[in-house]
Structure 1
């Protein structure tokens, strides 16, 4: 099987789509499956691979980490004809994704897609709700020629069904439990980040409106003073709101910027709680990483996060934006060491069942089924 992947974000970009596709490409490499990735170039020029074909690009205003490329159509056509893929997978609905759809039709190559980002929900956080109908029309048009459309969670599948999408399949996310685990040297981690307080609470994610990070700050400020003086917050990630948030943040909150995977895993492991107020996740990779690290998660009762957190077992779900509810759950868990540790182990046990290899094997099975079905139709 030869696979061509068209995406507007790829490693070393730091987001869920790029990280998932990088893990998938690592898996394909290990299985000796031929693949080629068409993606935007990077300002830094880092990470050069013979598997990745890059194009000039500019940052997308709504999501600077995602770049709008200016692909050379003749170049793409020549690459595809040389590579002769059995299937094209479009992972994003921007310029490079459009090229994937176009050449799948033009060269008669089976086409599948994946839906990763809830852009409609994002519109609310940028006062662009008036674009919602146009966005859904475009998304329907873009994906309608896909033989399969892979979505990361049941929540997203139901949302797309309501908007008339068909041929939907669940493609969940896994976690590397050998990397994300509870067994790091917690004292060393606390020393590295100058954590002297009794409790370490962590947030990991983009610092942008759609992640509802303002709720995080409000929750941190609303905790009882006698508890608050024993809490150290680490906010990990970057984004357009970082500078503003740092100015507004309480004195016990430190912003680290982006961390490498091994550093991130260490911080998860040393954390007492992971607090994640984002209501716009189609899955929630960071939630699964925290659980794999033995850290209970307090998340928003919305999006794909609802399919990962089992309330009262490995964490709690709170009404999106409900500051008091988030604060009450934090107080409850920090006041009960036994419950918190039990939830941590339940989270770890759940994460151990979410293996990337099995997830990618199933995806390849779907690929093969699409290819076979279209071949049968040719000879029918």
Structure 2
């Protein structure tokens, strides 16, 4: 088995996210099966042009825009026995005409374009859909029912949902949470993730619960703005980027995860929090309406005001809170990277 992954970012990219973690697990699955896995991506500052990580060969060239064209040229040099995984993140690698290519897409960008670019983003919303339609006869792999529906509406006929995995084993029983109310935001600090809405929700909660705390876990373009505006409030803790045990410890001790994103492919942080018996309260948008089981593992809300209301409602109703927390542990048990890798290998072989 020989598989080439085309993704604008690699697993070491400073702005890597859930899509890159997912791709890395698929690439490792190929290596574990005894195959060859290569990953073509842009070359961020400080990264090598080529290196091998966990048996996966990385080739880096170009910016996040030009790498799409370099990646296509690289794919064209491969023999036909290579499977090409074209990862579409607002823009693909134009391999729609190759018989040996497969589309991998976590989410459509749509609202992202206008949030990031304002009025200038509208042409990109149309262009994204036009480019995606070129792939509609290909096998498309995605991670959620939301993106499945988006692709179906664009005329795709061969779509397979292969859900995200989970890098930690869900707890067997509910952990001991902090005595005072602890909330957490976990994710990139950028406009499309809406981190300031989590802070606004917390400030409304704090009007009623004076000893409440909020942990803002992550880094990104809005870090300086948010810390400059809110770091004087001692009950808002900006931790910066965390991973592994440091991140898991905060999720385990916190009572709620706040997820105010404008759109997600799935919502990997939701399942990570659920693995520690932590319900999520997120916006009713694509992706989150799949990862958050409304009324079973958390709540879907329309804005930060309703988000605050749900926190207060559950904080005062311990019986309902414990029911949701137990539901989180059961829901999280459905996800593992082993399952994800198995389904991927079955689909492409």
Output the TM-score relative to the length of structure 1. Answer: 0.80
Mapped to 2, the partners of 1:220 and 1:302 lie a distance apart of 20
The reply on whether 1:353 has 2:345 as its aligned counterpart is: no
Counterpart in 2 of 1:12?
Answer: 12
Partner of 1:205: 187
1:90 alignment counterpart: 86
Q: Which has the higher helix share?
A: 1
Moved more, 282-291 or 129-138: 129-138
Q: Return the offset for 1:76.
A: 5.4
Aligned ranges 1:71-220 → 2 under 5 Å: 71=70, 77-78=76-77, 80-81=78-79, 85-92=81-88, 97-98=92-93, 101=95, 105=98, 109-126=99-116, 127=118, 128-131=120-123, 132-141=125-134, 143-144=135-136, 146=138, 148-178=139-169, 181=171, 198-220=180-202
Confirm or deny: 8 A CA contact 2:85 2:104 kept in the other structure.
Answer: yes
Alpha-carbon spacing, 1:226–1:51, altered in 2? closer, same or farther (3 Å): closer
Unaligned runs of 5+ in 1: 61-66, 191-196, 369-380
What does residue 232 of structure 1 align with? 213
Q: In structure 2, how many angstroms separate the alpha carbons of the residues matched to 1:150 and 1:130?
A: 26
Q: Distance in 2 between matches of 1:75 and 1:325?
A: 49
1:40 maps to 42
By how many angstroms is 1:183 displaced?
Answer: 8.1
Q: How large is the Cα RMSD of the aligned pairs? A: 2.8
Q: Distance in 2 between matches of 1:274 and 1:174?
A: 19
Q: CA deviation at 1:288?
A: 0.9
Once structures 1 and 2 are overlaid, which stretch shifts more, 12-21 or 32-41? 32-41
Q: Secondary structure at the match of 2:128?
A: helix
Larger Rg: 1
For 1:189-338, what aligned pairs fall within 5 Å after superposition?
198-227=180-209, 229-249=210-230, 250-319=233-302, 322-338=303-319
Structure 2: how far apart are the matches of 1:76 and 1:110? 10
Which of residues 54, 57, 61 is equivalent to 2:59? 54
**Offset from partner CA, 1:46-85 (integer Å, 9 cap, x none):** 793163232233356xxxxxx956737776555x24xx64
Partner SS state of residue 230, structure 1:
coil
* Structure-2 residue corresponding to 1:193: none
> Mind listing any 5+ residue stretches in structure 2 that lack a counterpart?
none
SS at match of 1:294: coil
Alignment length (residue pairs): 339
Residues 85 and 184 of structure 1, relative CA distance in 2, 3 Å threshold: farther
Cα distance in 2 for partners of 1:327, 1:237 equals 21
Q: CA deviation at 1:359?
A: 2.5
Offset, 1:330: 0.6
Structure 2 residue matching 1:256: 3-state secondary structure: strand
Following TM superposition, by how much is the alpha carbon of 1:274 offset from its aligned partner in structure 2, in angstroms?
A: 0.6
